[in-house]
């Protein structure tokens, strides 16, 4: 028996085993990489849907409403709308019917039709409070249409935490979207550039 043939046979077996292990390791790395990429793509799809159909439009309508509200207060020389004085009533009803209620209706529709896109497991109370606030104004606007101006504001007040919730949620989703769109190397470079410039 020739030792060189045994050694060659053993080397071939080792090479074959090594090749199989290497192929399996390559398959495993590819499988895991594809799985991570698929999860990332699914997460990005959900984040994009939440931004496009819920938090983005809700944020824009909220910011527009706040700008309009502050403009009205500035125009009237006030820091808050209440009490609504007799001399402010005509302008208040005009702004309420043509600017504030259309924006409220947009936000209400977003909340009701896309509630499945909220980030939390439970519906945030501020969103429910906002919808009831809008419902109160719908009743009030019906009275105004009939010429009854005894009430000037919705009996259900504006939820104080609504604006903050909308802004925080929108910004958190935008940050997550950016993280999912860019790899770790890009994010590290971007942070370094910001530190240099900041």
Among the listed residues 161, 139, 160, 135, the one whose alpha carbon sits nearest the alpha carbon of residue 150:
139
Residue 159: Cβ within 10 Å count: 19
Which carries the bigger pLDDT value, residue 3 or residue 113? 113
Using an 8 Å Cβ cutoff, are 55 and 169 in contact?
A: yes
Of 34-38, 78-82, 90-94, 165-169, least confident by mean pLDDT is: 34-38
| pLDDT single digits (tens) 1-54 | 455 555 656 776 777 666 776 666 666 666 666 666 667 778 899 999 999 999
User: In angstroms, how far is CA 148 from the centroid of its own chain?
Assistant: 39
Percentage of the chain modeled with pLDDT above 90: 59
Print burial letters for 42-63: b (CB count within 10 Å at least 16), e (below 16). Answer: eeeeebeebbeebbbbbbebbe
**Which pLDDT score is estimated for 2?**
52
Which carries the bigger pLDDT value, residue 20 or residue 135? 135
Among the listed residues 138, 146, 144, 152, the one whose alpha carbon sits nearest the alpha carbon of residue 86:
152
What is the distance between the alpha carbons of residues 82 and 133, in angstroms, rounded to a whole number?
16
**Which pLDDT score is estimated for 78?**
87
Range of the domain at 74: 3-197
**Which pLDDT score is estimated for 32?**
60
What is the distance between the alpha carbons of residues 56 and 167, in angstroms, rounded to a whole number?
9
Average pLDDT for 64-89: 90
Average pLDDT for 142-162: 92
| pLDDT surpasses 90 at 196 | no
What is the distance between the alpha carbons of residues 165 and 130, in angstroms, rounded to a whole number?
12
| pLDDT surpasses 90 at 197 | no
Percentage of the chain modeled with pLDDT above 70: 78
Among the listed residues 40, 42, 47, the one whose alpha carbon sits nearest the alpha carbon of residue 117:
47
Q: How many domains does the chain have?
A: 1
User: What are the residues whose beta carbons fall under 8 Å from the beta carbon of 126, sequence distance 6 or more?
Assistant: 159, 161, 162, 165
Using an 8 Å Cβ cutoff, are 177 and 44 in contact?
A: yes
């Amino acid at each position: 028996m020739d030792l060189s043939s045994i050694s060659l046979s053993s080397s071939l077996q080792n090479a074959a085993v090594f090749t199989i292990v290497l192929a399996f390791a390559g398959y495993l790395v590819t499988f895991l990489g594809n799985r991570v990429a698929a999860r990332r793509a699914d997460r990005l799809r959900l984040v994009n849907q939440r931004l496009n159909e819920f938090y983005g439009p809700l944020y824009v309508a909220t910011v527009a409403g706040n700008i309009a509200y502050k403009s009205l207060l500035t125009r009237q020389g006030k820091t808050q709308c209440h009490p609504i004085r007799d001399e402010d009533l005509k302008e208040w009803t005009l702004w309420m019917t043509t600017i504030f209620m259309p924006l409220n209706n947009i936000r209400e529709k977003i909340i009701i039709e896309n509630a499945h896109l909220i980030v939390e497991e439970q519906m945030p109370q501020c969103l429910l409070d906002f919808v009831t606030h809008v419902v109160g104004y719908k009743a009030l606007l019906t009275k105004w249409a009939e010429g009854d101006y005894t009430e000037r504001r919705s009996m259900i007040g504006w939820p104080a935490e609504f604006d903050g919730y909308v802004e925080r949620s929108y910004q958190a989703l935008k940050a997550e979207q950016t993280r999912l769109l860019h790899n770790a190397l890009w994010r590290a470079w971007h942070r370094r550039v910001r530190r240099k410039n900041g």
